[in-house]
């Protein structure tokens, strides 16, 4: 079965494209240049050319701060285009795996969010992703929406790469200690998606469609995560700065972020047997790749 991956140039898209897939799947990675999901025509011609059995949408507008100033751009990709993909899947009778975010929540809870907790995004990016989820649900029954959090990898833009870069330029780095999330490696998300894809394409049981949370454990502040990054990077002789713990209010940002966005991942464990990995294990591999 052919698996069309949109947004294959991003962190999760690359991880999925490079992963070892179960036998029987033929992965077709498409970058934005090859399949632009904001173009109905581009989606249609990709479907005609590839005839996939499933689409995995890794394409998104992920510049959270920029989205505050360019809400239309964020909505075009995260909401409208998600709808175009879902409609195209409905028209072709194929399922869609779509990725969403912990930022659909406002972060006012203080225990992990479940899939049934009400969403209330605190910023434009979160709103655009929530609207994207709603479009997918409205257009296509055969969908899986995976909400994840704090994605990192050896590719693209992410917190790990930013920290390592800043450490080369500065002796001190200020990192917020009052936003708790679950950093998650793109490779671990890819593994989860591969397991889900195998399950939904082989099972006759339609009870698995819907929304699932998947992230690593344990929840951590960005300060904790930075400390772990430099703990590992220091062992590889990478420069280690002095880390200064600050409150979000002290950090200049145009964007309100949820103070707490840990996700409860028991539903995905129950339905698909997927356990939460430890982010520290995956971080070790990413630091090794980036500093080795």
Ligand X SMILES: NC(=O)c1ccc[n+]([C@@H]2O[C@H](COP(=O)([O-])OP(=O)(O)OC[C@H]3O[C@@H](n4cnc5c(N)ncnc54)[C@H](OP(=O)(O)O)[C@@H]3O)[C@@H](O)[C@H]2O)c1
Residue of 61, 103, 113, 125 marked catalytic? 125
Query: Residues 52-81: x/- map of binding to ligand X (CB under 6 A)?
Result: ------xxxxx--------------x---x
Spell 4-18 as b/e; 16+ CB within 10 A means b.
Answer: bbbbbbbbbbbbbbe
276 belongs to the binding site for ligand X (CB under 6 A): no
Annotated active-site residue 260? The verdict is no
From the list 30-38, 106-114, 170-178, 271-279, the region that binds ligand X by CB under 6 A is 30-38
Nearest residue (CB) to ligand X, 77 versus 232: 77
How many residues in total does the chain contain?
Answer: 292
Cβ atoms within 10 Å of 99's Cβ, excluding its own: 26
**3-class secondary-structure state, position 26:** strand
Is residue 32 involved in binding ligand X (CB under 6 A)?
yes
Q: Does residue 145 interact with ligand X by CB under 6 A? A: no
122: Cβ–Cβ under 8 A, 6 or more apart, which residues?
A: 103, 106, 107, 256, 257, 258
Q: Say whether residue 182 binds ligand X (CB under 6 A).
A: no
Of 5, 37, 47, 54, the one binding ligand X (CB under 6 A) is: 37
Please pick, from the candidates 5, 36, 140, 263, the single residue that binds ligand X as defined by CB under 6 A: 36
Return the residue of 3, 4, 5, 7 that touches ligand X, per CB under 6 A: 7
283 binds ligand X (CB under 6 A): no
Phi, psi for 213 (deg, rounded to 5): -100, 135
In this chain, which stretch among 89-97, 147-155, 199-207, 221-229 interacts with ligand X, using CB under 6 A? 147-155
Q: Is 101 in the site for ligand X (CB under 6 A)?
A: yes
Cα gap 113→209, rounded to integer Å = 19
Pairing of strands 220-221, 180-181: antiparallel
Alpha carbons 286 and 292: distance in angstroms, whole number = 10
188 touching ligand X, by CB under 6 A: no
Smaller CB distance to ligand X: residue 63 or 240? 63
- Are 166 and 18 spatial neighbours (Cβ–Cβ below 8 Å)? no
Instruction: Give, for 128, the enclosing helix (H) or strand (E).
Output: helix 124-139
The window from 145-153, 201-209, 242-250, 255-263 that contacts ligand X (CB under 6 A) reads 145-153
Q: Give the active site residues.
A: 125
Residues binding ligand X (CB under 6 A): 6-7, 9-13, 32, 36-38, 58-62, 77, 81, 99, 101-102, 129, 148-151, 156
């Amino acid at each position: 079965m052919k698996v069309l991956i949109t947004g294959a140039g991003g962190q999760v898209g690359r991880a999925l494209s490079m992963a070892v897939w179960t036998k029987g799947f033929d992965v077709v990675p498409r970058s934005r240049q090859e399949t632009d999901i904001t173009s109905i025509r581009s989606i249609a011609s990709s479907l005609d050319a590839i005839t996939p059995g499933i689409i995995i949408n890794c394409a998104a507008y992920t510049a959270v701060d920029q989205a505050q100033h360019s809400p239309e751009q964020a909505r075009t990709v995260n909401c409208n285009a998600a709808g175009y993909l879902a409609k195209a899947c409905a028209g072709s009778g194929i399922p869609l795996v779509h990725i969403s975010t912990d930022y659909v929540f406002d972060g006012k809870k203080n225990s992990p969010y479940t899939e049934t907790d009400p969403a209330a995004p605190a910023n434009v990016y979160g709103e655009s992703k929530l609207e994207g989820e709603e479009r997918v649900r409205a257009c296509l029954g055969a969908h899986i929406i995976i909400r994840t959090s704090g994605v990192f990898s050896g590719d693209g833009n992410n917190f790990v790469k930013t920290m390592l870069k800043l450490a080369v330029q500065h002796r001190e780095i200020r990192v917020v200690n009052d936003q708790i999330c679950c950093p998650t490696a793109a490779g671990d998300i890819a593994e989860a998606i591969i397991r889900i894809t195998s399950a939904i394409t082989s099972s006759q049981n339609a009870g698995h469609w819907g929304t699932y949370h998947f992230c690593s454990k344990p929840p951590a502040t960005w300060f904790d995560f930075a400390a772990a990054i430099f703990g590992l990077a220091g062992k590889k002789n990478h420069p280690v700065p002095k880390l200064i713990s600050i409150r979000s209010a002290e950090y200049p940002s145009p964007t309100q972020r949820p103070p707490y966005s840990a996700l409860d991942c028991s539903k995905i464990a129950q339905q698909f047997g997927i356990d939460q990995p430890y982010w520290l294990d995956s971080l070790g591999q990413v630091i090794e790749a980036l500093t080795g």
